[in-house]
Amino acid sequence: MTVRNALLGSAAALAFALPAAAEMRPTLSFMGVTGLIDMPSGEQQSDGMLSFTAAYFGPIGRQTLTFQFTPRWSGSFRYSSGRNWDQVVDSPFATYYDRSFDLRYLITEEGQYVPAITVGFQDFIGTSLSQAEYIVATKTFNDKVKVTAGLGWGRLGSYGSLGAPFGEREPVDVGNGGTPHLGNWFKGDVAPFAGVEWKVTDRLTFKAEYSSDAYTEEAGIRQTFERNSPFNFGLDYRLTNSIDFGIYSLYGSQIGASLNIMMNPYRRPQGGMLGPGPMVVGDRPVSSGWGPEWVTDKGQLLALQNQTAALLRHDGIAIEQMAVTKTNVQIRINSTQLDNSAQAIGRTARALAATMPPSVGLFEIVPMVRGVPVSKVVIKRSDIEQLQFAANQDALIQERTQILPVSGARPADPIAPPDLTPRFTWNLAPYIGTTLFNPENPLDVNAGLSLKARYQLAPGLFLTGTVTKRIGGSNAPPAEEDTTDDSGLPPIRTEGDKYASFGDPAIKTLSLNWYAKPAPNVFTRVSAGYLETMFGGVSTEVLWMPVDKPYAFGVELDLVQQRGYDQMFDFLDYRAGVGFVSGYYMWDNGINAELDVGRFLAGDYGARIVLDRQFANGWKVGAFATFTSASFDEFGEGSFDKGIIVEIPFGWFLGKPTQQVTRVVMRPLLRNGGAGLDLDGRLYDNMRDFRQQDLDFAWGRFWR
């Protein structure tokens, strides 16, 4: 105990007594949160950081996804495994798998004399195996040393207890899990922990810590490993700015290793974006080159459209309609390559400045999405000419630009439209499909080919479909008998293993979709066919989205029937009526909220809340939770539907302009309660990029 007291005392004294020097980069612990080795620290990662940690020692394995969704708040999802679970205590499985969520809040940032202080809630809605609360402080000295000291409750108060100052921790009835045990927070034994980090070189860091985790279940009750000491030691090595790994000696008996992959939306792996740069806006041509008859000369007007189209083609922007008067031009565009809405507007304005006659001084740029005009961006030509090299040019052009509602009607006297319909596009590419967190097989992987096709029959009318052929994978065919489900709910999603196994080849989707705009702020969608992997039918939607407001409201009504397991042309007997009223709101910092209230696929009624943070380059990370009339017991393990959504644009990885996005939805469990249609093409997600607030958010790339 003398060594422990000395380490704790030194950590506390240093943390509060010495001034700070330059910052050392925060590292990640075995739990995948900002910390030492197995203990947390008081720092947070940089704003927006998304990190993945894979850590193992002895029989313990942990995979953790952590997102710093504001400078002070971070959240984590963890999937843990414990081998040899049944070697001394009867258990239905040899390896125990556990899912958990964490939340951390930075109380104070590190200053000259004040340490960074964080309060954390570990496994706060889980099975309580890893549940803990802590308050921890970290101080940096001379850009070489960090000292951490903290107090832990729950699991982090299980070794070296100082007593229970706030009352005893009540035994937890885990039940189905998924519910917070608020009455136990900061209750029970509290124990100190501490540690030191020393930056040996710019890449190598030495760590030492005193752990307050007794591993009561793993090392004590189940004896999966021997915990001989509370002291852990290790080395972290930074391979690149995005990857580091470590090797450690843990608890006097184990050797451990960890790999951390960190992705920052603000920093692309390839540096800047490749691709054609923006054209320079030259001097406006003299008026003498244009006679008064050009505005009525169909040949000259068509030549203007063709010249503009040729310039925009380099940026993947197509002209859908164009109308020109002596002083104004309205151009309706479809951007298929650039992943930033404001950049598409800026490139279009530059092209118009290069091609339009000198008398045309006002540009009306109307972005089209799925054949529907979203908004009208009005820019003066003189502002483009004067501000392209000005200081603070982004803010200046933003102040002078208007974003207005636009009707769905065509502009008056359009130039002969390009040959847009009918139009057929397709793409054949490999795919990788995963099924996560199955207790018998935590990671099912299959790979194959995916053929996607779209046939545009008329403006706003599309026939779309996706066909897949599996080449290989780990999916084993499930039992032929019907899936048993003790929840009493229809087996909506719990039969997913049958769809994954029997659908080869599979028609994933095949639907006719009609998009329209009956009023300046109203959008509609009607979809019919095989809407998703498990359901087909008819889906209708109406969205009211003022282009100059941060909010929107929508209504969706669906009548669907469950598809056959082979995902071809047949249907099962189950039918459902689904309907929602939805509200959407976006704050200036890119945080979005969505609330859907209505009837779900299993016939249960309730609400889903979605919170996500969006970045100007297309990144999106968020979480959702659904509570319905299905009780926690009816829902089953997990108690309610919840999960994490991560969307990363391909362009961020490749460094090339593309609108392709990889989207991952991670649910701890896929159950029947709170299940909705997995429908592509919903209105809000497709139309919102060109309303004022989203354009303002992305405006930093207008001139690029």
3-state secondary structure 540-567: EEEEECCCCCCEEEEEEEEEEEEECCCC
Give the pLDDT of residue 9.
44
pLDDT, tens only, 343-360:
999 999 999 999 999 999
Amino acid residing at 628? T
525-561 pLDDT tens trace: 999 999 999 999 999 999 999 999 999 999 999 999 9
Task: Say yes or no to pLDDT of 383 above 60.
Answer: yes
Question: What pLDDT was estimated at residue 640?
Answer: 79
Q: Phi, psi at residue 253, to the nearest 5°?
A: -145, -10
pLDDT category at 668 given cuts 50, 70, 90 is confident
Instruction: Give pLDDT, residue 658.
Output: 83
Q: Which amino acid is at 472?
A: G
Longest dimension (CA), the chain: 97
CB 571 within 8 A of CB 507: no
* Sign of the four-CA dihedral 597, 516, 613, 101: positive
How does residue 125 score in pLDDT terms, banded at 50, 70 and 90?
confident
Q: Are 323 and 305 in contact (CB under 8 A)?
A: no
Burial level of 530, CB count in 10 A (0-12/13-18/19+)? buried
3-state secondary structure 602-671: CCCEEEEEEEEEECCCCCEEEEEEEEECCCHHHHCCCCCEEEEEEEEEHHHHHCCCCCCEEEEEECCCCC
What is the C-alpha separation between 262 and 244, in angstroms, rounded?
9
Give me the phi and psi of 128, to 5 degrees please.
80, 0
Q: In the chain, pLDDT over 90 holds for what percent of residues?
A: 65
Among the listed ranges 1-10, 287-296, 663-672, which one has the minimum average pLDDT value? 1-10
Average pLDDT over residues 317-321: 94
Q: Which residues make Cβ contacts (< 8 Å) with residue 181, sequence separation at least 6?
A: 128, 131, 172
Average pLDDT over residues 66-92: 91
What are the tens digits of pLDDT across the range 552-599? 999 999 999 999 999 999 999 999 999 999 999 999 888 999 999 999
Q: Is 70 exceeded by the pLDDT of residue 60?
A: yes
**Cα–Cα dist 137/41, whole Å:** 7
Judge whether residue 434 has pLDDT over 70. Answer: no
For range 683-697, the mean pLDDT: 93
* pLDDT, position 504: 87
Give the Cα separation of 700 and 164 in Å (integer). Answer: 53
Is the pLDDT at 124 greater than 90, yes or no? no
- Model pLDDT, residue 559: 98
Q: How far apart are CA 561 and CA 261, in angstroms?
A: 42
Give the separation between CA 398 and CA 695, rounded to whole angstroms: 10
Model confidence at 482: pLDDT above 50: no
- The mean pLDDT of 231-249, rounded to a whole number, is 95
> Hey, CA dihedral for 469, 471, 475, 477, is it positive or negative?
positive
d(CA 437, CA 75): 19
pTM across the whole model: 0.87
- Give the span between the Cα atoms of 558 and 685, in whole angstroms: 18
Least confident of 129-133, 191-195, 352-356, 634-638: 634-638
165 in Cβ contact with 190 (< 8 Å): yes
Instruction: Indicate the pLDDT class of residue 78, thresholds 50, 70 and 90.
Output: very high
Query: What is the average per-residue pLDDT within 146-160?
Result: 97
Give the confidence band of 12 by pLDDT, cuts at 50, 70, 90. Answer: very low
* d(C-alpha 345, C-alpha 351), whole Å: 10
- Report the pLDDT value the prediction gives residue 22, as an integer from 0 to 100: 38
| Predicted confidence (pLDDT) at residue 312 exceeds the cutoff of 80 | yes
Query: pLDDT confidence of 478, banded at 50, 70, 90?
Result: low
Question: Mean per-residue pLDDT for 262-284?
Answer: 80
* pLDDT at residue 154, as a whole number: 94
Reading the block at residue 352, the tokens are 């118009």
Q: How far apart are CA 261 and CA 653, in angstroms?
A: 14
Distance in angstroms (rounded) separating the CA atoms of residues 181 and 126: 9
In angstroms, the Cα distances linking 72 to 92, 109, 117 are 41, 9, 11
For residue 339, give the nearest of 667, 615, 580 by alpha carbon.
615
The predicted pLDDT at position 439 comes to 55
- Return the pLDDT at 656: 79
Q: Give the pLDDT band (50/70/90) at residue 118.
A: very high
pLDDT tier at 1 (50, 70, 90 boundaries)?
A: very low
Q: Can you give the C-alpha Rg of the chain in angstroms? A: 29
Averaged pLDDT for residues 243-266: 95
Nearest alpha carbon to residue 41 among 128, 131, 152, 143: 152
What residues pair up with 317 in beta bridges, in sequence order? 335
Measured from the Cβ of residue 277, the count of other Cβ atoms closer than 10 Å reads 9
Distance CA 692, CA 89 (A): 61
Mean pLDDT (the chain) is 88
Query: For residue 695, what pLDDT band results from cuts at 50, 70 and 90?
Result: very high
Could you give the domains of the chain? 2-263 (2.40.160.40), 287-419 (3.30.300), 423-458+460-693 (2.40.160)
How many whole angstroms separate alpha carbon 630 and alpha carbon 436? 24
Integer Cα distance of 600 and 444 in angstroms: 27
